[in-house]
Structure 1
Amino acid sequence: MKKILQINTTVGYASPGKIANDIGDLILASGNESYIAYGRQPESKSNSSVIRIGDNLDIYTHVLSTRLFDDHCFSSKKATKKLVSKIKEIKPDLIQIHNLHGYYINIEVLFGYLKNVDIPVVWTFHDAWAITGHCTHFEHVGCNKWLTECHTCPQTNNYPNSILLDRSRQNFRDKKRLFNYPNNLTIVTPSTWLANLVRQSFLKNHEVKVIPNGVSQEIFKPRNNPQLQKTLNLKNKFVVLGVCSVWDKGKGFYDFIALAEMLSSDYAIVMVGVTKKQVEMLPSNIIAIPRTSNAEELAELYTLADVYVNLTYADTFPTTNLEALSCGTPIITYKTGGSIESVTEHTGLVIEQGNLDQAVNAIGKIKNLGKIHYKEHCLTMASDKFNKQKQYLEYIKLYQPLMGN
């Protein structure tokens, strides 16, 4: 029996937290022991043994330090030393890292420990934070400083926000030094796009493997709810759906508002995940739905929609695309990061970032062909490539030779 420890910001919350939980379940199913160390209070139950890193006060202190000094992931020293003590107690045969950013861990302490132990490390990059001096995404601002050395960061006011200092050059140098410590490091990315970036970065000498994310197709499947159409007053409307956990400019919030003005009364836009404040900003032909934690209800909305539109400007491999496919709904996405990797000519259309005329034309094309033209292709692609059980078994297969199995 082997012991596998995962580290992530959360357990069961947001895509990386859900992935950690799902991998943990497969670790247990394979007859091994699963541990998940996390930084924030879990939003859902876990079958794995969970370990809290630090506490809320530690998080607030970390946030403050980041805001003032741009030293994200260099606070939480005491909490990380306690984690290291716990790792020594557990003696894991493998460590799986997910997101380290999120105001809860000290990378100097963690990687200082990993440097001196013979434990294989698998690190899944859910964004590009590990290879930059500050940001999680850079393509939307056209910044390529990460290829040589970050400095004078154009995104210090974006997550993880710093309002006082720009430490991007030192952060870059520190990450380059620390993240190359583990000799037995394997990097996993959910998209080929991100894998190609990593292979150009200061981590290019490590093995990089692509394992696309998956979703539960027991939950995300065609779920017809005729009452939903009546409740939302969508009869005889071509339904355009947008889904996001946190809507902002980078996720296309204002693009949806502009798009609503360009579509005729034959269309209705449904936006899921908007806040009360954002609802007040939306025109009358956009139906606003708050963020829902009920996956079945979300699947009903995907099923009701005629097309799922993803107007994101920065994304690694959006899970919402996979959820839409699994419900038989075609996708229109901006040509952004790994978002295009779940779209083929049979499952939707890719358009240029910010080109709303192309968005209107693409929506019209799908309307003319009908959702039925795409549905079976979407379901087949989802089943073949993005089934949660199949995808996360790839992690178990990856772990086995690394642990000497």
Structure 2
Amino acid sequence: MKILLLDVNCKYSSTGKIVYDLYRRLNADGHEARIAYGRGDVIDEPRIYKFGVDWETKKHALLARITGKNGCYSPKSTANLIQYIKDFQPDLIHIHELHAYFVNITELLKFLKEQQIPVVWTFHCEYMYTGKCGFAYECQGYKSGCGNCPYLRQYVSSLAIDKTAQLLAEKKAAMDGLNLKAIVTPSKWLADKTKETYLYGNNIQVIHNGIDTDGIFYPRPKDDAIRSQFGIPADARLILAVAPNIMDVRKGGQMVVDLAETMPDTQFVLVGADETKRHSANVQLIARTKDQDELARWYSEADLFIICSKAENFPTTCIEALCCGTPVVGLDECGTKETAPEPYGTFVRVDIAGDADVKYAATLEALQKAISTQLGRGLTAEEIRNYAVANYDNAVMYRNYLEIYNK
């Protein structure tokens, strides 16, 4: 079987790692898999093709902000991709993310409809059923066609012009007639939301994200050197947070920093900041890293992993932590809770009356209690890891996708 895997990234970021895992396993299994991706470094491996043009991506991002439209300012990159598909002639295309300013979505889908190439599409966020938003939060405007977007300046960003109603109408038209065999979501939360949209009539399935649990994400020995490097006492309790652009409002880094102020006897490390620096006596910020081995060392060194994102589908960071034997605490938002069911994780949702400050203080207090609850369970790293490997090894993910491909 000839399969083309299509994404914004390759080998890097959660979706890029998933795509690369599927690519490796398909080829090892005797299939001919290729990857076409739009952004990032050029990867010098056979059957991997970067079709995106960097200067065009920058232009696309700028025009999207000015005009309010997106997914329509990359003609050269899109032409590169379409020609690559024509040359490869795949039996099936597995699409992951198409936002991020690197492809003309309507033009690509028109070509796929003309060719009637079978498509499997993994939704890693809400983008394909909203006007422009990767996450809709509490907004349900997409159910009535979008417009008057409350998150106009959030990614995918527009400075002032609201084209969300037009964009959603264009997506609906572009998806109509596509030879779409399955929509896959990593979480039940996103599957349930997708079923409430114009896409409800499709075959919608849940396949959890998988990772490399043997070669990268496994428990490492406790390492005094990594603590010493950043001035973290060897005997201090350590709580870790990891996210790209972790101090972005959606990723919740500021909440972790504020929580740290209420827990002066606990050390906090946040990976994914703009720069590496000591933020305060018990908070260390570390710049975003592509070094997966370094991340695994931090996961293993931590007593607990914390995630305070406002919106996530099925965050890979949580399952990476579990595979390294580290339990999880966080906010019960979107699909995050599904990654670490009790007793491997504890999640909080604060539903109280009061203004924002009152609710925020209550959330910090609830997180403190959740940390005590989770650490009080006394789970061993082996127990946590065994659950994670059984559910999140990339071999499990691959078998589930292969079943869909074969059908």
Greater Cα offset, 286-295 or 127-136: 286-295
Corresponding residue for 2:317?
A: 320
Residue 133 (structure 1) aligns with = 131
Cα distance between partner residues in 2 of 1:323 and 1:43 = 26
1:186 corresponds in structure 2 to 182
Aligned to 1:103: 101
Which one is further off, 65-74 or 81-90? Answer: 81-90
1:221 alignment counterpart? 218
Give the 3-state SS of the residue equivalent to 1:242 in structure 2.
strand
Q: Following the alignment from structure 1 to structure 2, what is the Cα–Cα distance between the partners of residues 87 and 80? A: 11
Aligned-pair identity (%): 32
Q: Which runs of 4+ in 1 moved over 4 A?
A: 43-46
Alignment of 1:150 onto 2:156: no
Please list the CA deviations of residues 124-181 of structure 1 after superposition, one character each: whole Å capped at 9, or x if unmatched: 1111101100110012xx1011122111111111111111311000001111111232
Q: CA–CA distance in 1 between the matches of 2:12 and 2:269?
A: 23
Separation of aligned partners in 2, 1:230 and 1:83: 48
- What is the alpha-carbon distance in structure 1 between the residues aligned to residue 369 and residue 17 of structure 2? 35
C-alpha distance 183-293 of structure 1, shift in aligned 2 (>3 A):
closer
Deviations 1:346-398 (A, max 9, x none): 1021112651101011112234444xx25333112101100012212321221
Structure 2: unaligned runs, 5 residues or longer: 351-359
- Shift in Å at residue 279 of structure 1? 4.3
Does the CA contact (< 8 Å) of 1:347 and 1:374 recur in 2? no
Paired position in structure 1 for 2:353: none
Match of 2:7 in 1: 8
1:49-100: CA deviations, max 9, x gaps?
1223241221122112201112110121243233223212221100110100
Name the CA distance, whole Å, in 1 between partners of 2:4 and 2:349: 41
Deviates more, 1:325-334 or 1:80-89: 80-89
Between the aligned partners of 1:384 and 1:289, the Cα distance in structure 2 is: 31
Structure 2 contact 312–333 (Cα < 8 Å) conserved: yes
Match of 1:358 among 353, 358, 366: 366
- 2 CA distance for matches of 1:42 and 1:393? 29
Distance change (3 Å), C-alpha of 1:71 and 1:95: same
Q: Is the 8 A contact 1:322 1:382 kept in 2?
A: yes
**TM-score (norm. length: structure 1):** 0.92
Matched length: 392
Amino acid paired to 2:161:
L
Given candidates 384, 403, 407, the residue that maps to 1:397 is 403
What is the root-mean-square deviation of aligned Cα atoms in Å?
1.8
Distance 1:82 1:288 in 2: 39
Partner of 2:355: none
Q: Deviations over 1:92-114 (max 9, x none)?
A: 10011010001111112111112
Structure 2 CA distance, aligned partners of 1:369 and 1:123? 39
**Equivalent of 2:302, from 302, 305, 315?**
305
State the match for 1:244 in structure 2: 243
Counterpart secondary structure, 2:250: helix
Q: Which residue of 1 aligns with 2:253?
A: 253
- In structure 1, list runs of 5 or more residues that go unmatched: none
* Equivalent in the alignment of 2:354: none
Q: Which residue of 2 aligns with 1:24?
A: 23
SS in 2 for 1:36: strand
Is 1:380 the counterpart of 2:386 in the alignment?
yes
Residue 198 of structure 1 aligns to which amino acid in structure 2? T
In 2, Cα distance between equivalents of 1:222 and 1:154: 43
> How big is the shift at 1:43?
6.2
1:22 Cα shift?
0.9
The aligned residue for residue 38 of structure 1 is 37
Q: Distance in 2 between matches of 1:124 and 1:30?
A: 21
